[in-house]
Amino acid sequence: MLIAEHVSKHYGQFRALNDVSLEVGGGEFVSIIGPNGAGKSTLINVLTGLARPSSGSVRFKERDIAGIGPVKLARLGMARSFQLVQIFPDLTVMETLQAAVVSRLRRGRRLFASLAGDGTVRAEAAEVAELFGLDVKAHALARHLPQGDKKLLDVASAFALRPEIILLDEPTSGVSTGDKTKIMEILVSAAKQIGLSAIIQVEHDMDIVFGYSDRIIALHQGAVLADAAPEAIQADQRLVDMVIGRRRGHTA
């Protein structure tokens, strides 16, 4: 579904990505890991069309998506959630999800009229809210939510775009250990129920990475050091030390 071939990204003399190639197919849960400065954020921005590679290509469903931007990419079937929560603080939970549905249906010119009067928009937003356990807080202002629920709302908004593939940027950052597992369980369950084809996540918590991934891509200094199943990554202690910096059971 998603293919990056020989992607490099330069910022002046600094090379953030160096000849990165990867593929993500249907049914996969792929995690991207690496120490700070490894190039993870740059890779996400390139894969989601926010940044154009200096060289190489990125294709989604056989279409070149280099620099396409998040709106056009979402219409093609790929959505992204962010490490820093992107919710609208003065909208309610339901209004936030309705805004995502309106965007997908291309009814944004009459956004608030659509939120108030469109039965399809209301029904689809309510379905997503229920999937993520946010229906009981449907009328709460987003800014009043606990951090874990803010994370869930951000991810739920991306799901409301009904993507085929979703890229999650640190989906459990800034929340308690107990909430991390809750978020991941809800996320995986929701993905199955809406028929999401693939998930890519960037995540620092190694328990989450090893617990949920089908495949792990390890970055170091802008290059791919490994692309393998979790068991193979764990078995290579040198790789673990280089890319993770700490043994499993700790975040890095």
Residue 46 has pLDDT above 60, yes or no: yes
Residue 245 has pLDDT above 80, yes or no: no
Percentage of residues in the chain having pLDDT higher than 70 = 90
Mean residue pLDDT of the chain comes to 87
Q: 140 and 179 share a domain?
A: no
Domain that holds residue 96: 78-161
**Whether the Cβ atoms of residue 183 and residue 175 lie closer than 8 Å to each other:** yes
193 within domain boundaries:
no
Q: pLDDT tens digits, residue range 193-231?
A: 988 999 999 998 999 999 999 999 999 999 999 999 999
Q: Is 114 exposed, middle or buried (0-12, 13-18, 19+ CB in 10 A)?
A: buried
CATH number of the domain that 172 lies in? 3.40.50.300
Q: 72 and 86 share a domain?
A: no
192 within domain boundaries:
no
Rounded Cα gap, residues 62 and 60, in angstroms: 5
State how far the alpha carbon of 158 is from the alpha carbons of 99, 133, 162, 229, in Å: 11, 15, 8, 27
Q: pLDDT tens digits, residue range 138-177?
A: 999 998 998 888 888 988 998 998 999 999 988 888 788 8
Q: β-pairing, 165-169 with 198-202?
A: parallel
- The total of structural domains in the chain comes to 2
Q: 116 and 10 share a domain?
A: no
Cβ atoms < 10 Å from Cβ of 172: 24
Q: 68 and 172 share a domain?
A: yes
Residue 131 has pLDDT above 80, yes or no: yes
Task: Calculate mean pLDDT across residues 104-114.
Answer: 61
Rounded Cα gap, residues 229 and 211, in angstroms: 11
Task: Calculate mean pLDDT across residues 235-245.
Answer: 83
- The residue whose two tokens read 């108030």 is 116
Q: 70 and 101 share a domain?
A: no
Q: 124 and 236 share a domain?
A: no
Q: 72 and 82 share a domain?
A: no
